[in-house]
Amino acid sequence: MSDEPVKDPLALGLGSLASGVGFGGACLTAAQIVASFLRGDLEPSALRETAGDPLLAGLIAAVGVGGACGWYRSASLDNVWQRGVIAVLAAVGAILIGFLAAPVDRFFGILGLIIWLLLNVAFGILTTRWAIRGKGEMGSGTGTA
């Protein structure tokens, strides 16, 4: 019996997808935190001119970071089509998870958004580790040292 770790494409693909969702959702949540700070300091007329920009930037960052994380983490997959699907699904999932921060802001305020941001980052880190273990490379955390 060999000690060679085996490549697990399912763990690699799902971990890559979930890491993109977590980190991309964190980007959109951070933008909502910035917009929430601005909403507290600005008058309603000035808010319409200013607060749209962090949300738009956060949306673009969520799509970019989510897709890039999904694409980068799934680099060990042999099929480029699968990598592309993972990247697109990670970008869309990042938007959906980022949009879930709006009700969190409504019900729990800034503190809830900060906790949601930390949960997204922790989820991204854990699923990145899952994707790395799915690569099946020596030294990637699969073996017992």
Centre a 10 Å sphere on the Cβ of residue 130 and count the other Cβ atoms it contains.
Answer: 19
Q: Find the DSSP H helices in the chain.
A: 9-41, 44-50, 52-73, 80-99, 101-135
Are the C-beta atoms of residues 12 and 128 closer than 8 Å to each other?
A: no
Closest CA to 35 of 24, 51, 50, 48: 51
pLDDT above 70 (res 50): no
pLDDT above 60 (res 142): no
Q: How far apart are the two ends of the chain, measured CA to CA in Å?
A: 17
Predicted local confidence at residue 72, as pLDDT: 95
Centre a 10 Å sphere on the Cβ of residue 145 and count the other Cβ atoms it contains.
Answer: 4
> Rounded CA gap, 98 and 44, in Å?
24
Burial classification of residue 106, based on how many CB atoms lie within 10 Å of its CB (0-12 exposed, 13-18 middle, 19 or more buried): exposed
Predicted local confidence at residue 47, as pLDDT: 67
Over residues 70-97, the mean pLDDT reads 94
> Rounded CA gap, 59 and 26, in Å?
11
pLDDT tier, 2 (very low <50, low <70, confident <90, very high otherwise): low
Centre a 10 Å sphere on the Cβ of residue 61 and count the other Cβ atoms it contains.
Answer: 20
pLDDT above 70 (res 101): yes
